[in-house]
Every structure is written in structure tokens, then in C-alpha cells.
Structure 1
Amino acid sequence: MWYTQNKIICILLILTCSINYAQVVGDNHSNYTEADTLRGSLRPERTNYDVQKYHLKLKVDPETKSITGSNLISFSVKENMPVMQLDFFENMQIDSIMHNGIDLKYERKYNAVFINFEKALSKGTSDSIEFYYHGKPKVAENAPWDGGFVWSQDKDGNPWIGVAVQGTGASLWYPNKDHQSDEPEEAQLDIAVPNGLMNVSNGRFLGEKNLGNGYTEWSWKVVSPINNYNIMINIGNYEHFSDKFQDLDLDYYVLPYNLEKAKKQFEEVKPMMACFYDKMGPYPFEEDGYKLVETPYLGMEHQSAVAYGNKYLKGYLGNDLSGTGIGLKWDFIIIHESGHEWYGNSITSKDIADMWIHEGFTSYTESIFIECEWGKEDALKYIRGIRQNISNTATIIGEYGVNAEGSGDMYYKGANLLNMIRSIYDNDELWWDTFRDYTKTFRHQTITSADTEDFFNNATEIDLQPVFDQYLRHAPLPVLQLQQGDDFIRYRWKADVVNFKMPVDVIIDEEEIRFNATSEWQSYETGEELDELEVNDLEFYIESEIIK
């Protein structure tokens, strides 16, 4: 996901760069509005139905920067439902909402649409409505850091159009239940664009049809569950080429003048897939295929149609976010955004307050790829290096029910948390077995942070709950207090979590020792005066303090 409005300053050698993280609505504020609650909470108007399919049929006009069409929304009724809430930005125009040939009445409140049925829909039935609309969707001034349409042109003057809506909301361009807890089981997009252009969307290509009015309709279908912000259109004068990894189809859509660059750069996909299959399990959307699509913005994890805009450079637009040099060995957007196919797309947080499930795990996949290609030592150095982008000033988990993410620390503090849990396990075989099992267990599901915490906690005899609580629900790092005597070391934790405890590895005269530290003072007998005492900071992300 790209990237919150919290600016995190990083020093990369002599270069100073600012990293913005994803589009955020709540952004850690506390003055939530009714609009925030309507978007972020689950009430009967939302929970009484379960979305089964979206079928978008749209015409996109680059000249007027407008869209016109409909969304056929199929759903199952979970409880008797007189009123349904959908989400649709108030600047967009509703033409009609049809149900069994009847034009339904509705009310709008902020970006919510409350649809009234003539007779309450009955529990246990399946039904659908067709929502007709038009308008000029919100424009992204600086995608993907703000949400909206990108109306751009390629170097040859052809329209080049993309959409990035994570955080801001998919309801800025099509009506849907804009909450991560409910994903359609499938989606179809029939997108009409001016002749000579192509639209690339999620899933498999169904075909193209000349409509005879200067427009060609391009049809795509996803047969896997997909979250709303991943449903996507990409319009341009694209060239297509393809490859295979095992049984997985790899398809690439790029601008013609970048074709040779793309063929070289995208070779990185196959070793990435080999690594991820080994460490994380098979690609979770084989039936929909895997695509990289060149976009006029940096990137986004659009399921089975990953947006790529890294300008065919290594690193993050040619920069190394870790400051170690290791980040310049690989293309950041290919690896990070593809990692989201497993974490964020296949496994999705029910509430965006728990988005670290997406971002912490996906940021950790960066080090997974490094470990596969260049070894564990480089992976650990990279993980330590990206700490320079962590602020530790706000909590990783946001507030629930008001469409509010936690802080941007969900990325690299989340990755360091996972790396540290691996170190606490102190058993790489157990770690990777647990990691793969987690990915398999929650495949194609929406889950909570508690689900994730319990899963990794239950795999070990060590109680990890205090660790999760400190790193996810408090901003500061725990402090390991050390007091050195002539022939002993005293140690304890100082933390926000009451009775905090966590094992930690320290290096004493070049020997690594594990302290099973708690909030109470304990002693380690050294037998002699020490020359060296340090924390293993490659594997443990903490603060330490020498007490005199």
C-alpha cells in the first residue's frame, strides 16, 4: 500500500528523502466525524448482507475526465433487510438504483447511500441491484499518496489513465460496501475506452468488443475474493508480453517505448516467486494470474494486476530506504507490491486499524527476498537499516470503527517486530513452518490483529502477548535497563505494558547470551569484569539504558 500522509525523513548516504506512506482518512486524529463513522463502522444496514459479486460496466472519457455506467451488485441476505447502505462519494451523480425493474428510493448522507426496499429482503435469499451513475471522480493530485483518478499522457501524447484509491476509498469511483470486512467473491469489469487504447484490469482477459461508437470495451474477470481498493482500471497504449513461473501465468503490460527495459527488469519476478513460494507458500491467485501493469504513478498492490511505476530502477526510484546499499540490489516496487498479493490481498484486515497485517508483513517480505538472494546477514542488515524510517511517536494499531489507520510505523516497525519474533523463536525451521502455515490458514480471508497475534503466540511456549501489546498498542520501544557490577549484570525491562517480559539476546565478550528479562531486576553472574556488553541489535529492536 502507498503510503500514509505521515512524512518520515530518512538519510540515505548524502541524500535526504522524504517518504510518504498511504492514503489515510483517520490519520491518528481523535475528532472523528459522523462521516468517519458511516464509513468505518458496521451497522445492520451493512452487516445484513454479504456481497457476492460486483459487475462494473463503464465508459471512460479521457477528454471530459468522466465516467458513466453501472455496477450490478449481487449479494446474499444474512438478516431481514429493509434498508441497505452502500458507499459512493457525494460528488458523483446517481442516475437510478434498480431492483427487479423497480426504481428504488434512497437517501444520501455524506459519502453513504441508504437504499430503501419496498419490502424488506428476506434472510437467506440471494438478490441484486443495479446502480447507474455518472460523474467526474476525484482526481489524485499526487497519486498514490492521495486517492483518485490519474489522467495523464504518455510520451507519445496518448491518454494514460490509472486509479489509486487505498485509504481514500474505492467508492470515489464506483458504488460498493466500502469496508474491508466484506469482499466480493468475484468481480467483472467491462470497461469501454476510446479506440486505440486498451484497458487492463484484474483477473483474466475475457475479450474486447468494438462498440461502433469510437469506443472498444475490454472485459476482465476475477474469480477470487478481492477487496474494494484492489478493483482497478489501467488505460493506455499498452504492449503485452508474457512468461511463466511453474504453472503461474505472468503477464506484463507496458508502454511501447519501455518494452525492452521491461523485459529486462521484470526478469526479477521469477526469482521473487521462487523465494516467496518457498518461504510463504504458493501464489494465492493462480486462477486469476499475475500481472505487472505500468502506471503513471509509483505503484500499488492491485490484486493480480500490480501497478508498477518505479521507472525501471533498482531500489525505491533509485534510492535505498535502508541506507545500507542492499536496497539498491532489487526493484522495490516489484518486490513490495507483489508481496502484498499474500499479505493485504489474500489476507486482509477486517478494519483498517489493523493494517499492519498488510504493511508489516509485506515490508518483511522485502527482507525475505534479500535473504533468498543474498543471505540472512544482508537481510538482517537491511531490517536494521530501515529502522531509520521509524518514528515511534504513534501506535501501529489505529482506532476501530472510524476508518482510521495507525501510524506509518506499521511498515518498518511491523517488519522489525516480525524479525524479532523470529529471533525470539530461535528456531528458523519453526519460524518458516509457522509463517507458511499462517499464510495458508488465513488464505482469502479477512482477519483481525488478534487472529494474527494468537496464531504466532500459539506456535511457541514463550508468551508473546506482552510483546505484541508493547509494539502494536504503544508508541515507545521497551527499554532494557542494564547495571554492571564487578562480576555480574543486573537487567530488567522498562515498558508501557504492565509486567512486560520478553527474551533478548545480548553479546558478552563475543558470546551471545539470552536474558529472559521481565520488569523485575534479575542478575547474570559473569565471574569476572567484562570488556564488552551489547544487545544483538540485528535481531532485536529495542532501546537499552545503562544504570549506574
Structure 2
Amino acid sequence: MKKVFLFTLTLFSIYNISAQTFTRRDSLQGGLRLERTNFDVQRYDLNITVNPDKKFISGYNDITFKVLEKTGRIQLDLFENMQVDSIVFKGKKLAYKRDNDAVFITFASELKRGSEEKLRFYYSGKPVVAKNAPWDGGFVFAKDSEQKPWIGVAVQGTGASLWYPVKDHQTDEPDRGASIKVAVPNGLMNVSNGRFKGSEDLKNGYTRWDWEVINPINNYTITLNIADYAHIHDNYKGLDLDYYVLRKNEEKARKHFEEVKPMMDCFQSKFGKYPFFEDGYKLVETPYLGMEHQSAVAYGNKYRKGYLGSDMTGTGIGMTFDYITIHETGHEWFGNSITSKDIADMWIHEGFTTYSESVFVECLLGYDKAMQYITGQQRNVGNYKPVIGIFGVNKEGSGDMYYKGALLLNTLRHIVNDDQKWWKMLLKYSETYKKQVIDTETVVAFFSKETGMNLTPVFDQYLRYKDIPKLQVKLNDSKLEYRWETDVQNFAMPVGITVNDKEIRLNATNTWQTVTINAFNPDEINLQKSKYYVRFEKL
């Protein structure tokens, strides 16, 4: 979750789509040069202190990594407003050079290929404060109703190096997980990813809270949450469910979060076993709306149905569930388990997760309501620039990655035209790429193979061009002529229409074709709008 909720049709109409220029900072953050590809992170062990009054962080990150190619130099990342205190390797300080947010580290002697190494990166500073989290990256230093500190962080797209030293690229997740140890003033608690391992009073006015993740984890979902939390524990069919909420909301949360159980039943039946079962599942109340932090989902929807108490689809169906709980948990499968290599491909996170909303509606209320819900999402698509962004410069595509991505998947379901096959295929996709980092080409190859169709032109039109396919039809007596108008050449896609309420499936291409139908008035011909997200033009 990130930017889609700021978009309106008004914003779409005034958006400046002029050519963009990129800086060295962009390429340092988004690119894959030798200093990044010559090592593979195995584990992060983060140990920091957070001073809420000064809005200040200090501590270190132990970074364990495997050397893939012999090297004497690597790149790590830390926002330039944060101080590098020292970088220690085998008891000695290393030389380093800062370049924007990149930190190039030089070793005294060359590291051998295949060796496993560990360095300790000490740092401190005041991290960037978000102006409007989660839509811009940074920390939120808030107060609860008792005026106690309430702190969170959200950095999707902005980069995890905003607040801790890291190899800040989605291609490299720590294979053996991470530990997150955060010291906070006595009377407060920190909640991070994974399992709680214990706390320790440091005898200096601070208590350290220790958490452990054993699964691979993408950098931007490593998190901290600081408040005077109440803890609610439950277990559902063997899965630990833990909720950390402000104390005044404990009873409200107990009732509200019962929705998690049918959600887990639905998602596990459609997408496979909860991918981070060993780390447990948590919802953590935050001073911002929400974020898909792995095994510690940020929740800030104030215990309301819908999205901030409203329905983004205009159908009313969105008011039957808590949008943040469902959407952000969907990311555990799509985004956290299956991660895109480059944020230019973030539709792999957001399109599938937005689609998971209608999947939940179908589990809860049936197919017809699900189709009504996802059809309502069409009003949130702008089609003003491509869904896929620019690679190598840390640049996402358009906000259409959410709803347009979901509508593409719904269209694909009806191209398949066999629900048993579709659900089997979606489950296989989720399980095949579980805990892996992939790209659009991998997604397209998978669905093309499973359907037995060349779907490259279909994915290209929806993702790489701003416009959706246009189905053109013209009626001459009882002869219906039809074709696709697309940017992509050799475009072919089955589509359903109704003629006097009778369903007809057209195997349309860019070439005009003709079929005999029982109609003489163009008004009798309609697109199956709930099944296919396309433009429909009667000539």
C-alpha cells in the first residue's frame, strides 16, 4: 500500500506527464552495479535505541553476507542526513566514502569468493519525518490520547535506508531473516517483525525489546512500532494471531479483529498456507493508516469498515469489511512473499493484492458481489501513464498498478473461462514463487504456460501502455464486425459480449472479423463489463 489513495480523477486530469529526468542519487539507489551484485545478504541484526523526545536513533546493524565475486569494495545505503559513526570488520574500522545515500565501503584486503563475512555498521541521527505517512516515507512521532509517545515508520518506495543501514534494493532479501532489537523509554513497548524473544531493562531508563524473523524479508517491511500497547493473543487453526493495540482500544480490537479468521480461511484456500507461519501473524495499531510490514501488519483504520469509513468502489460492498486489514494482509502473499526485483514492477505487489480484496468478497458474499465490487474499482483507474515504471532508478509506475492491475487479473480469469482452472492456477502461482523475488516477465511466462496462450501482448497492453484495449464493433444487418484497437501489434484476446442478453464469446484480434448474430439494433449489443476491463466502441 502506498500512493493510490491520493489519486482522484481530478488529479489524473492535471498530472504532468512530461519526460522525467533522473539524478545520480536515483541510479545509486535503484541500480545494480558491481558493488551491489558481488555480495548476497544473509542476515540483518539491528540493535538501536530510539529517543522519542529528540526524535533520534542510535545503534548499529550487523550485516552478514556471502561474497559472490571476489571484491574489496561493496555498497551499502543510509540516507545522507544520517550519520555514519563507524563501520567495523574483524575488529578494525573500515574506510568508506559517501555518495548521496550510498556508502561505498573498502576492505583492507580482498574478500574471497564464497566466503561468509559480517560487518557492524554503527550509525545515528534524526530520521526523516513523514509529512503524510504512508504516502511519503518516514517516521511518525505522534502521541496517544494519554500523551504518551506513539511512533511508527513506513518507507515503501522511499527506501529502508531512510532509517537503518542496508543493501537497499529489493533483489536482495536477507536469506536467514533478521533480528530487530529496539530500546525505548521504560513504560513503552516496541513491536517489530516476527516472534517476540524477550525484553531487558537496560537500567538507564530504557527497556530493549527483542524480535526475530526467520524467513527472508524485504527491506521496506522491516519495522518498529513504539507505544504503550496492550497485547491480545489468539490462535486459529495452529496459526498464532497477535494484536498490539492502544490500551483504550483493547476491547474494541478483540471484537473487530475477529474478521481475521474468515480472511485467513479465504486467503489460505486461494493462495496457499500463510507464508510466514513460523513468524506468526500480527496486526499492530499505528498512528498512520497502514502498511504491509511482514508478520507485523500496520493497522490504522480506527476499527471501521471500509477505507477510513468509506467505500472506494461506490458499490457499498466495501463497507462489509475493514479495507486495511484485508488489503494489507493480502500483501503477505503478494509483495512480502512474492516480491518484485525492481519497484518499477510494483504492480506485482499491488495488482495481485488489490485483486485479493475481491477474492475475499467472493469468499464472503459470492461471485456476483465480487464482480460488482471489482467492476466498481474501474472508476479509480486513470489510464494516464503506464503501470510499469522506469527500471534502475527506484521509480514506480502509475498508481493504476492497484486497480488496473486487479482488473487485468479479473480479465485474465475470464479469458481462462474456467474457474476451477483459474483458482488452481492462482494457487500454483502463489506457491511456485513463494518467498522469491521475480519480475513481470516471470509472471507473464507463468500464466502463458498455464493457460496455453501467448499472453505477452495482453500483459504488455495493460502494463506498458497507458490505454486499455478497445473492442470496436459495427453492425450491418445481422452481421457483427469486430476487432481490437491496441498499441500492441498482433493483439489477440477472447472477450464476452451479450446480444439480447445471450452471451457470445469473440476470439477477437486486430483484424476485422465477422459473426452472424440475432440483432439489428446496436443497443442490443453490450460488453460483459464485470468480466473484462476494456473499452467498448460501437461504430
Pairwise same-fold verdict (TM > 0.5)? yes
Give the equivalent residue in structure 1 for 2:50. Answer: 60
Aligned equivalents of 1:346, 1:516: Cα separation in 2: 35
User: Counterpart of 2:414 in 1: which secondary structure?
Assistant: helix
8 A contact 1:28–1:406 mirrored in 2: no
Shift of 1:529: 2.6
> Is structure 2 residue 441 aligned with structure 1 residue 450?
yes
How many pairs were matched up?
534
The equivalent position to 2:120 in structure 1, one of 126, 130, 133, is 130
8 A contact 1:6–1:407 mirrored in 2: no
Matches within 5 A, 1:239-278: 239-278=230-269
Shift of 1:30: 2.5
The equivalent position to 1:468 in structure 2, one of 459, 462, 473, is 459
Q: TM-score, normalised by structure 1?
A: 0.96
Shift of 1:256: 0.7
The equivalent position to 2:76 in structure 1, one of 64, 80, 86, is 86
Give the equivalent residue in structure 1 for 2:528. Answer: 536
Give the equivalent residue in structure 1 for 2:339. Answer: 348
> Is structure 2 residue 358 aligned with structure 1 residue 359?
no
Aligned-partner residue type, residue 7 of structure 2: K
8 A contact 2:472–2:483 mirrored in 1: yes
Give the equivalent residue in structure 2 for 1:34. Answer: 24
Aligned in 2, Cα 1:292/1:177: closer, same or farther, shift over 3 Å?
same
Matches within 5 A, 1:148-159: 148-159=138-149
Aligned in 2, Cα 1:29/1:279: closer, same or farther, shift over 3 Å?
farther
Aligned equivalents of 1:95, 1:465: Cα separation in 2: 49
The equivalent position to 2:493 in structure 1, one of 496, 502, 511, is 502
Give the equivalent residue in structure 2 for 1:2. Answer: 2
8 A contact 1:479–1:495 mirrored in 2: yes
Shift of 1:28: 9.0
Aligned-partner residue type, residue 413 of structure 1: K
User: Counterpart of 1:459 in 2: which secondary structure?
Assistant: helix
Aligned equivalents of 2:215, 2:8: Cα separation in 1: 35
Aligned equivalents of 1:150, 1:172: Cα separation in 2: 13
Aligned equivalents of 1:380, 1:28: Cα separation in 2: 36
Give the equivalent residue in structure 2 for 1:419. Answer: 410
User: Counterpart of 1:213 in 2: which secondary structure?
Assistant: coil
| Identity, % of aligned positions | 56
Give the equivalent residue in structure 1 for 2:185. Answer: 194
Give the equivalent residue in structure 1 for 2:86. Answer: 96
8 A contact 1:230–1:301 mirrored in 2: yes
Give the equivalent residue in structure 2 for 1:486. Answer: 477
Deviations 1:261-312 (CA, angstroms, capped at 9, x unpaired): 1111100000000000111111000000000000000000000000000000
Aligned-partner residue type, residue 532 of structure 2: F
Aligned-partner residue type, residue 42 of structure 1: L
Aligned equivalents of 1:245, 1:483: Cα separation in 2: 56
Aligned equivalents of 1:44, 1:443: Cα separation in 2: 27
Aligned in 2, Cα 1:483/1:9: closer, same or farther, shift over 3 Å?
closer
Aligned-partner residue type, residue 544 of structure 1: F
Aligned equivalents of 1:246, 1:442: Cα separation in 2: 24
Give the equivalent residue in structure 1 for 2:421. Answer: 430
8 A contact 2:301–2:308 mirrored in 1: yes
Aligned in 2, Cα 1:5/1:411: closer, same or farther, shift over 3 Å?
closer
Aligned-partner residue type, residue 268 of structure 1: E
Shift of 1:512: 0.5
Aligned equivalents of 1:32, 1:429: Cα separation in 2: 46
Give the equivalent residue in structure 1 for 2:133. Answer: 143
Aligned in 2, Cα 1:53/1:509: closer, same or farther, shift over 3 Å?
same
Shift of 1:448: 0.5
Q: Which runs of 5+ in 2 are unaligned?
A: none
Aligned-partner residue type, residue 79 of structure 2: F
Aligned-partner residue type, residue 376 of structure 2: G
> Is structure 2 residue 151 aligned with structure 1 residue 161?
yes
8 A contact 2:345–2:396 mirrored in 1: yes
> Is structure 2 residue 393 aligned with structure 1 residue 405?
no
Deviations 1:431-480 (CA, angstroms, capped at 9, x unpaired): 00010000000000000011011111111133221110100100011111
Deviations 1:186-230 (CA, angstroms, capped at 9, x unpaired): 100111000000000000000000000000000000000000010
8 A contact 2:193–2:211 mirrored in 1: yes
User: Counterpart of 1:118 in 2: which secondary structure?
Assistant: strand
8 A contact 1:28–1:398 mirrored in 2: no
Give the equivalent residue in structure 2 for 1:333. Answer: 324
8 A contact 1:207–1:219 mirrored in 2: yes
Aligned equivalents of 1:449, 1:247: Cα separation in 2: 34
Give the equivalent residue in structure 2 for 1:384. Answer: 375
Matches within 5 A, 1:177-188: 177-185=167-175, 186-188=177-179
User: Counterpart of 1:179 in 2: which secondary structure?
Assistant: coil
8 A contact 2:499–2:519 mirrored in 1: no
User: Counterpart of 2:8 in 1: which secondary structure?
Assistant: strand
Q: Which runs of 5+ in 1 are unaligned?
A: 11-17, 20-26
> Is structure 2 residue 214 aligned with structure 1 residue 219?
no
The equivalent position to 1:44 in structure 2, one of 29, 34, 37, is 34
Shift of 1:102: 1.0
Aligned equivalents of 2:43, 2:453: Cα separation in 1: 43
Give the equivalent residue in structure 2 for 1:24. Answer: none
8 A contact 2:499–2:518 mirrored in 1: no
The equivalent position to 2:284 in structure 1, one of 293, 298, 307, is 293
8 A contact 1:296–1:309 mirrored in 2: yes
Deviations 1:370-406 (CA, angstroms, capped at 9, x unpaired): 0000011111111110111100010010111111111
Deviations 1:314-350 (CA, angstroms, capped at 9, x unpaired): 0000010000000001000000000000000000000
Give the equivalent residue in structure 1 for 2:96. Answer: 106
8 A contact 1:395–1:475 mirrored in 2: yes
Aligned equivalents of 1:239, 1:460: Cα separation in 2: 48
Shift of 1:527: 5.2
Deviations 1:491-525 (CA, angstroms, capped at 9, x unpaired): 01111001211110000111100000001110011
Give the equivalent residue in structure 2 for 1:546. Answer: 538
Aligned equivalents of 2:336, 2:470: Cα separation in 1: 35
8 A contact 2:77–2:167 mirrored in 1: yes
Aligned in 2, Cα 1:4/1:316: closer, same or farther, shift over 3 Å?
closer
C-alpha root-mean-square deviation of aligned residues, in Å?
Answer: 1.5
8 A contact 1:28–1:405 mirrored in 2: no
Aligned equivalents of 2:109, 2:221: Cα separation in 1: 33
Matches within 5 A, 1:310-321: 310-321=301-312
Aligned in 2, Cα 1:133/1:528: closer, same or farther, shift over 3 Å?
closer
User: Counterpart of 1:357 in 2: which secondary structure?
Assistant: helix
Aligned equivalents of 2:519, 2:286: Cα separation in 1: 62
Matches within 5 A, 1:202-217: 202-217=193-208
